[in-house]
C-alpha cells in the first residue's frame, strides 16, 4: 500500500459505543476467542475470532455499507481486524478503544456464561484467561474437594496455593501443634499461632486468603478404624505424612476407594514426588514394597531439611492437584520425579505396577480393614519410629 | 566407568560423596564394588544371603532393575545406577 492508501481506523470510546448501540442498528463484532467470550461479553455482540474474520464476515454482514463497531479485550486485535475489514471494502468500521477492559472499567454492563460472581471473575481472572482453564475450569476448581494429610512442611505450601486457586473444599488432617521450629519452612503458620493446633492455624491462613474455600479440620491421627470414613468424601488426597505407617495405610485405603494420591517426601536437599492413580498406575506399595528399618530412614528432625525443599515439593504437589482437577497436562502417574536442591537438578524415574503387589496386583485379595497398612511378614514394622 | 548415585542416608558411609564411580559389568558387580570401596554401605544394600534388600530400590538410568534383570542387569560405562530410598520426612 502507498502511504496515501494507508488505512486509518476510527475509534470511539466504550461509553460512546454503548449509547450508540441503545438506539442504532450498528453491528457489534467481538473479535476474541470463545473462552474469553464465555467469561464476559457485551450483550448483542457476535463473536468471530481473529483468524476467522476474513472468511466469516461476509456471511455475517453482507452489506458493506453497514456500520460495524468492533472490539476485543484491549483494542489491539480489533484494530487489526478493522483494517482487514476496511481492506475488504467495508466502509464504516469503528474500533472501540480499550476493548472490553475499558468497557468494564467504565462500569458498562457485560454478560457471562459463568456461574462466578463478579468478585470471583476478578479474583480468578489470571486463571480464566488461560484457554486450558477458562470459566469452566475455574468452576471445576471451586467444586473440587482435596484432603491434605499433614499441615506441615509439605502441607503448608500446598494448602496455600490450592486455597489461592479456589479449591472449594480443603480437608486438613493434622493432630500436631505449631512449634517455632516449624516456621523455618511451614509458611502457612506464624508466630501468633505457635502452640495452637496446626489444622486451625492453617484454616486461619486459608480463610484470610480466600473466603471461597471451605476448610474441614481433622484433629486426630488416621488409623485403620477411621481412614475410610475420612477419605471417602474427597476427590484427591495429598500425602504429606511424616511417617511410613500412615503412608502405607493411606495407600491401602485409597486403592480400596479408588482415590488418587499425590505423594511427596523431603529430606536434607532431596525431594521425591509421584501421583498414584489406583489401577491405572502403580501404587505406593508397587514403588516401595517394604519400608526401610528406622535406622535407614531418618526424619527431618534428626537429619535436617532445607526449608525451601518443603516449598519446592509442596508446590509440585499442588501442581499435580491442579492437573487432576482440571484434567489437563500429564500427571506424574507411573513417574517418580526426584529433585536435588544443591545442583537444582530434576531426575525422572519410571515406576511400574508390580504384578505381585498385594494391594493392586491382579492376584490381590481384599484385605480386612484392620489389616490396611500392615505387613504380615514384617515383624519389626517401623517399631518405635511413629512420628509425632 | 558406571556411576552410582548415593542417597542422603548413605552419604555418611561414602565420605559424603553423592556419586561414586565403580567398575562392573552388571548391577550386582557395580554394587559389590561400591561395598568393597565403602564397606559400611553393605547393610543398607544386601541381606545376609547376598540378595538385594527388599526395601532398597535400585535403578539403572530410569528403570527399576526389578523390571530388568535384577542384579544381572548389564551396565555400560555411560550408565548411572541409582540407589533410591523411601523417605517420609517428619519428626519423632
> 516401595: which residue's cell?
A288
pLDDT at A212: 96
C-alpha cell at A278: 489406583
Beta-carbon-side half-sphere exposure of residue A147 (alpha carbons within 13 Å): 23
Q: Quick check: B89 and A154 CB within 8 A?
A: yes
- DSSP assignment string, A83-100: HHHHHTT-S-EEEETTHH
A348 three-class SS = strand
| Beta-bridge mates of residue A168 | none
Closest CB to B88: pick one of A265, A269, A293.
A265
pLDDT at A194: 97
Query: Which positions in chain A have a beta carbon within 8 angstroms of at least one beta carbon in chain B?
Result: 152-154, 241-244, 247, 265-270, 272, 287-293, 296-303, 305, 336, 338, 347-352, 385-388
pLDDT at B48: 85
Say how far apart CA A90 and CA A27 lie, in whole Å: 12
Q: Which long-range contacts (CB under 8 A, 24 or more apart) does A205-209 make?
A: A205/A159, A205/A160, A205/A163, A206/A159, A206/A160, A206/A163, A206/A170, A209/A160, A209/A163, A209/A164
pLDDT at A229: 95
Residues of A in contact with B88 (CB under 8 A): 241-244, 247, 265, 297, 299, 387
Contact A77, A50 (CB under 8 A): yes
Residues of A in contact with B64 (CB under 8 A): 349-352
Give the gyration radius of chain B's Cα atoms. 13
pLDDT at A349: 95
- Containing B30, the helix (H) or strand (E) segment is helix B27-37
Contact A212, A166 (CB under 8 A): yes
User: Distance between terminal CA atoms of chain A?
Assistant: 76
The sign one gets for the Cα dihedral A191, A197, A198, A204 is: negative
Q: What is each CA distance from A245 to A171, A284, A314, B91, in whole angstroms?
A: 20, 12, 21, 13
pLDDT (mean) for B10-34: 92
pLDDT at A375: 65
Contact B90, B12 (CB under 8 A): no
Q: What is the ipTM of this complex?
A: 0.91
B38-78: per-residue pLDDT in tens?
A: 999 998 888 888 888 888 899 999 999 989 999 999 999 99
Say how far apart CA A95 and CA B15 lie, in whole Å: 71
Q: Checking DSSP bridges between strand A169-173 and strand A214-218, what pairing results, if any?
A: parallel
Among A177, A245, A270, pick the best mutation site for testing chain B contact (most B Cβ within 10 A).
A270
Give the number of A-B residue pairs with CB atoms closer than 8 Å.
Answer: 99
Q: Quick check: A270 and B87 CB within 8 A?
A: yes
Measured from the Cβ of residue A303, the count of other Cβ atoms closer than 10 Å reads 14
Q: What is each CA distance from A167 to A144, A213, A238, in whole angstroms?
A: 6, 6, 13
Alpha helix (H) residue ranges in chain A: 14-23, 34-39, 53-60, 76-87, 99-105, 118-123, 125-128, 134-143, 155-165, 198-209, 227-231, 244-256, 284-287, 300-303, 307-326
What proportion of chain B, given as a percentage, has pLDDT over 70? 95
C-alpha cell at A334: 507411573
Number of residues that this document lists for chain B: 92
Say how far apart CA A268 and CA B18 lie, in whole Å: 13
Residues of B in contact with A349 (CB under 8 A): 59, 62-64, 82, 84
Q: At what angle do helices A198-209 and A155-165 cross, to 10 degrees?
A: 30
- At residue B92, does pLDDT exceed 90? no
Nearest residue in chain A measured CA to CA from B59: A349
- What is chain A's pLDDT, residue by residue, as a tens digit (388 residues)? 555 567 789 999 999 999 999 988 899 999 999 989 988 999 999 999 999 999 999 999 999 999 999 999 999 999 999 999 999 999 999 999 999 999 999 999 988 877 788 899 899 999 999 999 998 899 999 999 999 999 999 999 999 999 999 999 999 999 999 999 999 999 999 999 999 999 999 999 999 999 999 999 999 999 999 999 999 999 999 999 888 889 999 999 999 999 999 999 998 899 999 999 999 999 999 999 888 877 777 777 778 899 999 999 999 999 999 999 999 999 999 999 999 999 999 999 999 999 989 999 988 887 777 777 776 543 344 433 333 2
Amino acid at each position: 500500500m502507498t502511504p496515501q492508501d494507508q488505512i486509518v481506523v476510527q475509534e470511539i470510546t466504550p461509553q460512546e459505543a454503548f449509547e450508540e448501540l441503545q438506539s442504532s442498528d450498528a453491528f457489534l463484532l467481538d473479535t476474541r476467542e470463545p473462552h474469553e467470550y464465555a467469561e464476559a461479553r457485551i450483550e448483542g455482540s457476535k463473536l468471530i475470532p481473529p483468524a476467522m474474520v476474513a472468511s466469516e464476515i461476509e456471511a455475517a454482514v453482507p452489506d458493506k455499507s453497514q456500520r460495524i463497531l468492533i472490539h476485543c479485550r484491549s483494542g489491539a486485535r480489533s484494530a487489526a481486524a478493522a483494517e482487514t475489514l476496511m481492506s475488504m471494502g467495508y466502509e464504516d468500521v469503528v474500533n472501540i478503544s480499550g476493548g472490553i477492559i475499558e468497557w468494564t472499567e467504565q462500569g458498562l454492563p457485560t454478560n457471562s456464561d459463568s456461574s462466578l460472581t463478579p468478585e470471583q471473575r476478578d479474583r480468578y481472572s489470571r486463571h480464566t484467561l488461560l484457554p486450558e482453564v477458562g470459566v469452566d475450569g475455574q468452576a471445576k476448581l471451586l467444586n473440587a474437594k482435596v484432603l491434605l494429610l499433614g499441615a506441615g512442611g509439605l502441607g503448608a505450601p500446598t494448602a496455600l496455593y490450592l486455597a489461592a486457586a479456589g479449591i472449594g473444599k480443603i480437608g486438613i488432617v493434622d493432630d500436631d501443634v505449631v512449634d517455632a521450629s516449624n516456621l523455618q519452612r511451614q509458611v502457612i503458620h506464624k508466630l501468633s499461632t505457635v502452640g495452637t493446633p496446626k489444622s486451625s492455624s492453617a484454616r486461619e491462613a486459608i480463610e484470610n486468603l480466600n473466603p471461597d474455600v471451605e476448610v474441614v479440620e481433622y484433629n486426630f491421627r488416621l488409623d485403620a478404624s477411621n481412614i475410610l470414613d475420612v477419605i471417602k468424601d474427597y476427590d484427591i488426597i495429598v500425602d504429606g505424612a511424616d511417617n511410613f505407617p500412615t503412608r502405607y495405610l493411606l495407600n491401602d485405603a485409597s486403592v480400596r476407594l479408588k482415590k488418587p494420591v499425590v505423594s511427596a517426601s523431603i529430606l536434607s536437599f532431596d525431594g521425591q514426588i509421584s501421583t498414584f492413580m489406583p489401577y491405572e498406575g502403580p501404587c505406593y506399595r508397587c514403588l516401595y514394597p517394604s519400608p526401610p528399618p528406622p535406622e535407614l530412614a531418618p526424619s527431618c528432625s534428626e537429619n535436617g531439611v532445607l526449608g525451601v525443599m518443603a516449598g519446592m515439593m509442596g508446590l509440585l504437589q499442588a501442581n499435580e492437584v491442579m492437573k487432576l482437577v482440571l484434567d489437563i497436562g500429564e500427571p506424574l502417574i507411573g513417574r517418580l520425579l526426584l529433585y536435588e536442591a544443591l545442583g537444582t537438578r530434576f531426575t525422572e524415574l519410571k515406576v511400574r505396577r508390580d504384578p505381585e503387589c498385594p494391594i493392586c496386583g491382579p492376584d490381590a485379595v481384599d484385605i480386612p480393614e484392620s489389616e490396611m497398612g500392615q505387613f504380615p511378614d514384617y515383624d519389626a514394622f517401623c517399631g518405635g519410629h511413629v512420628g509425632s | 566407568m558406571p556411576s552410582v548415585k548415593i542417597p542422603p542416608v548413605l552419604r555418611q558411609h561414602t565420605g559424603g560423596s553423592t556419586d561414586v564411580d565403580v567398575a562392573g559389568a552388571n548391577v550386582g558387580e557395580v554394587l559389590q564394588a561400591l561395598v568393597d570401596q565403602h564397606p559400611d554401605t553393605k547393610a543398607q544394600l544386601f541381606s545376609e544371603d547376598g540378595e538385594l534388600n527388599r526395601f532398597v530400590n535400585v535403578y539403572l538410568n530410569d528403570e527399576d532393575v526389578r523390571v530388568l534383570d535384577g542384579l544381572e542387569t548389564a551396565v555400560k560405562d555411560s550408565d548411572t545406577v541409582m540407589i533410591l530410598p523411601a523417605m517420609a520426612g517428619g519428626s519423632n
